[in-house]
Structure 1
Amino acid sequence: KMHRTVLALVNIFICGCFASPPNFILLFADDLGFGDLGCYGHPTSLTPNLNRLASGGLRFTDFYCTSPVCSPSRASLLTGRYQTRSGIYPGVLYPGSIGGLPLNETTIAEVLKPMGYATAAVGKWHLGVGPKGMYLPTNQGFDQYLGIPYSHDMGPCRNLTCFPPDIKCFGLCDVGVVTVPLMHNDVIKQQPVNFLDLERAYSDFSTNFITTSVKKKQPFFLYYPSHHTHYPQYAGPGAAGRSLRGPFGDSLFEFDTTVGNLLATLEQTGVINNTLIFFTSDNGPELMRMSRGGNSGLLKCGKGTTYEGGMREPAIAFWPGTIKPGVTHELASTLDILPTFAKLAGATLPRVQLDGVDLTGLLVNRGKSQREEMIFYPTDPSEMYGLFALRLGKYKAHFYTRGATHSGTTPDKDCPVFAVLKAHDPPLIFDLEADPSENYPLPLVGRPDLQKLLDRIMKVKAQFEASMVFGESQINKGTSPELEPCCNPSCSPKPSCCHC
């Protein structure tokens, strides 16, 4: 009883006089660039609800993911650990991947469940399916799941409808595999998924989860990793044709509409003042898709690269009455969400090497961030090469640079895949406050102050690399066609017969 009393007092102190544990909603956009939202300066994006979060919450200017591609970024978000520790590298998981996020990794959901939280995931999982669905969200701490277990372009989409009345999806997507399934928990509800109804289903699932949890007087954690705005974009009747940005803008608007539905549900159920909503994105925009691929604003390059455009993300923390509206230039990362949620809920941290820091002081008291550095790994990290880049304070050092297929078509010659791997010794150093576009490396000659800075950077690099133990690569375990989700597993011929 004494322990419960102390815990309640701690929660009251931390949460700004809220006696009950706060609810959490974690919104994770897909391939959304630093320059894609209206509240981050895009002139024609239609994002009124995300703009509301930004104007009423704390908007970050220096917030990072941990990888410029999907699966490793998601692993870090949910575990508070770099993807190299959990083995979600190189690249991403596929429909038939044998591996997945190891079950001995502890997710945010598994941290919160012992505190009595209801937990649900809706949308893009992309952390493995595996034999008998062993890596699905319901085996990783989530009570419920509705979504596509990987990226929605990982299946043939040539004849699928992405916009009403019958506008086919742009491109071919992946061929030779099963069509994209919609799963409820570990059961396939629909294959292929109906993109025109998908966002409505996600919105209904999410609002019902909130309403049910409130009726049960149970704190909740909703994790919503959206498919919007990853290629191929899609939108239903309520959003199609509404934006000035075309397909990308319509897709973004449909996601924003769901954010509005969540806000309305929080208000109707009376828990909006006891709910922390955190929004960010998994990696930068896929510039190879041109106007359909997103925008990194003034940042250099995009998805697939360790330049700022690949890994610096929009991020917003919204909690009426607890987080004061404003803008912060403090350094923060997706790694920090697990320890922050744990602190606010009074939960115990996993007994493993965490890379995240608690942001409670920054969010609630507008204090300084505990994060001083950010590590940049490429899509294919290795112990031989180590870090590609490191940010320390306002300075960023590039030890290696390389373009990526995902960032093709841009006029910047450093972004496409033709920009091959280059080693830099001494590293290229940029002042990101003066030069966020990474255009002008600082000259080291005649600058003893920068030489001291470089010494500090190299020391931090050496310390971090000494602490990094690479986990077994889950992606290198390979794939098997038999593991691709099929609603009629005994049918033939596969994969075309997997249809229901």
Structure 2
Amino acid sequence: MSSSKSPLSRRAFGGAVGATAATAAVGLSTAPEALAHTPSGASPAPREREFRADPKRRSKRPNILFILGDDLGWADLSAYGSPDIHTPNLDRLGREGVRFTDAYSGSATCSPTRFSLYTGRFPGRTRGGLAEPIADKSVGLEPTHPTLASLLRGAGYATALIGKWHCGYLPDYSPTRSGWDEFFGNFGGALEYYSKLGLGGEYDLYEGDAEYKDLRYYTRILTERASEYVSRDHDKPWLLNLNFTTPHWPWIADGDTEESAEIVRRIKAGDGRALWHQDGGSLAKYKELVEDLDRSVGKVLQALRRSGQERDTLVVFASDNGGERFSYNWPLAGNKGSLQEGGIRVPTLLRWPARLDGGQVSHAPVFSPDWTATLLEVAGARPAASHPLDGASLAGYLLRGERAPARDLFWRVRGERALRRGNWKYYRGKAGRDQLFDLAGDVREQADKAAVEPARLAELRAAWERTDAGLLPYPS
């Protein structure tokens, strides 16, 4: 079945019966009502309407605020069915725009997904994207490679990145060398929230390319910085990549200074695994972290509203990959690092008041490189001809009433492969066995159709291998 989705009238399918009929008529993925449930004692969420663009609405070029959570699972938000975690600010963001049920990260770990978002290309197009994730100074995002930021800056945008970079280390790699006018944040894949010590025990908080000392809780600092940025009196449209480290390990919530001090002691004693915090954390602590992320996003959005720029700012919220130890991914199988749905399907919300109605839900399959292509188009920037994009722009679907792009979604990590075409997913895990799943009725990937659909399996496997042949090989 094609991944194209017909634009549906929100008015025609406003009721429960109409919504069910619409899903059956156009072959949409499993409806969100079947994937999420209301926490006990909570009020039912307002019914969302099937997505439809309103081509009559017009606006100027938007500001762009792209917010990434870190290792946030697909169902870790209450809008996606978490029974215990409450995320009113992110839920509101979705109600005021579009909630995507079938959105994916560009890869199953941190830095490859960031490569795919910043370049709009498969991570395997670049040497740095082959690291899963980057762990040393040997590779990074080459400054000569066009990025979302460099292309938008060329089109007249101010650009900033606040938070986690994880696309290479100094002295060779930095956001300020890849198109961002401003950078405030950390270079590595993880850091202790108070001390700012990274995986190698190094101090990892920078303003530009210079160390910046601030030993307060990291999420507070990023929230303040982002709120200040969106509150400025900008004289041009702007792009802000706001990359939280929350809820990535270590499991340190605001106020956990004793736990922080113990981890710092272990780091300084030479424990190279201290930040993994494998003896710490709990479901309750994870709930604290996610709800803190929600409050932090809420504060940034409040600052945006007070600045008077909310109407003309396109906001995207997503996660860099699927959830980890304490995530609530039900009903998906797998988690971070895997190309099963739980490792790559992520919560994704979009709001642009000037152009999009609220209260909508989209089941169109999309992934990280699509956002690069989309944001370039709505900003009036052209991709570099020398580096063609692998993502497809969603602007026609979102803004002009066109069908969602019909193409394959492709993923590759060491030892695993996956490709989604419409509702069908081809998957080979580390066991080396080709599998085929119909996600429309089996989002948990339990009913392997390989034996009963051999021709379809062969077709999707061949499509995966054609794409793979054009990528760089993994180093031995």
- Residues 123/64 of structure 1: CA separation in 2 closer, same or farther (3 Å cut): same
Give 2:432's match in structure 1, choosing from 411, 415, 423.
Answer: 423
- Alpha-carbon displacement from aligned partner over 1:40-66 (angstroms, at most 9, x marks no partner): 000221211110111111111111112
Note the C-alpha offset of 1:455: 4.4
Note the C-alpha offset of 1:236: 2.5
- Counterparts of residues 462-481 of structure 1 (less than 5 Å): 462-466=465-469, 468-470=470-472
- Contact kept, 8 Å, 1:58 with 1:327, in 2: the verdict is yes
Question: Kindly, what percent of the aligned residue pairs are identical?
Answer: 29
Give 2:251's match in structure 1, choosing from 208, 218, 233.
Answer: 233
- Alpha-carbon displacement from aligned partner over 1:315-354 (angstroms, at most 9, x marks no partner): 1111114122311111101011111111101111122131
Note the C-alpha offset of 1:258: 2.0
2:424 counterpart of 1:395: yes
2:415 counterpart of 1:356: no
- Alpha-carbon displacement from aligned partner over 1:429-482 (angstroms, at most 9, x marks no partner): 11111000001112534xxxx34423432442243234x231786xx8xxxxxx
- Tell me the distance in 2 between the aligned counterparts of 1:105 and 1:371: 27
Q: Which residue of 2 aligns with 1:218?
A: 236
- Counterparts of residues 278-357 of structure 1 (less than 5 Å): 278-287=316-325, 293-324=326-357, 325-351=359-385, 352-357=387-392
- Contact kept, 8 Å, 1:121 with 1:142, in 2: the verdict is yes
- Tell me the distance in 1 between the aligned counterparts of 2:390 and 2:255: 42
Give 2:85's match in structure 1, choosing from 45, 57, 81.
Answer: 45
- Tell me the distance in 2 between the aligned counterparts of 1:310 and 1:227: 17
- Contact kept, 8 Å, 1:15 with 1:22, in 2: the verdict is no
2:63 counterpart of 1:23: yes
Equivalent residue letter for 1:326? Q
- Residues 251/29 of structure 1: CA separation in 2 closer, same or farther (3 Å cut): same
Equivalent residue letter for 2:319? S
- Contact kept, 8 Å, 2:142 with 2:178, in 1: the verdict is no
- Alpha-carbon displacement from aligned partner over 1:147-188 (angstroms, at most 9, x marks no partner): 1111224xxx5xx869xxxxxx9xx984xx334421111111
- Tell me the distance in 1 between the aligned counterparts of 2:114 and 2:55: 27
- Tell me the distance in 2 between the aligned counterparts of 1:93 and 1:442: 35
- Contact kept, 8 Å, 2:70 with 2:244, in 1: the verdict is yes
SS of aligned partner of 2:346? strand
- Contact kept, 8 Å, 2:89 with 2:295, in 1: the verdict is yes
- Tell me the distance in 2 between the aligned counterparts of 1:472 and 1:443: 27
Equivalent residue letter for 1:375? F
- Contact kept, 8 Å, 1:317 with 1:363, in 2: the verdict is no
Q: Which residue of 2 aligns with 1:68?
A: 108
RMSD in angstroms over aligned alpha carbons?
2.6
- Contact kept, 8 Å, 1:36 with 1:42, in 2: the verdict is yes
- Contact kept, 8 Å, 1:332 with 1:369, in 2: the verdict is no
2:305 counterpart of 1:267: yes
- Counterparts of residues 438-457 of structure 1 (less than 5 Å): 438-442=445-449, 444-445=451-452, 450-457=453-460
Q: Which residue of 2 aligns with 1:369?
A: 404
Give 2:180's match in structure 1, choosing from 126, 130, 142.
Answer: 142
- Tell me the distance in 1 between the aligned counterparts of 2:238 and 2:114: 20
- Contact kept, 8 Å, 1:331 with 1:371, in 2: the verdict is no
- Contact kept, 8 Å, 2:198 with 2:204, in 1: the verdict is no
Q: Which residue of 2 aligns with 1:187?
A: 210
Note the C-alpha offset of 1:295: 2.2
SS of aligned partner of 1:35? coil
- Tell me the distance in 2 between the aligned counterparts of 1:179 and 1:423: 38
- Tell me the distance in 2 between the aligned counterparts of 1:145 and 1:79: 18
State TM-score, norm by structure 2: 0.78
- Tell me the distance in 1 between the aligned counterparts of 2:465 and 2:82: 39
Q: Which residue of 1 aligns with 2:119?
A: 79
Equivalent residue letter for 1:275? T
- Tell me the distance in 2 between the aligned counterparts of 1:62 and 1:79: 21
Q: Which residue of 2 aligns with 1:118?
A: 158
SS of aligned partner of 2:101? strand
Consecutive aligned runs of 4 or more in structure 1 exceeding 4 Å deviation: none
Q: Which residue of 1 aligns with 2:37?
A: none
- Tell me the distance in 2 between the aligned counterparts of 1:15 and 1:141: 33
Note the C-alpha offset of 1:100: 0.9
Equivalent residue letter for 1:148? N
- Contact kept, 8 Å, 1:26 with 1:278, in 2: the verdict is yes
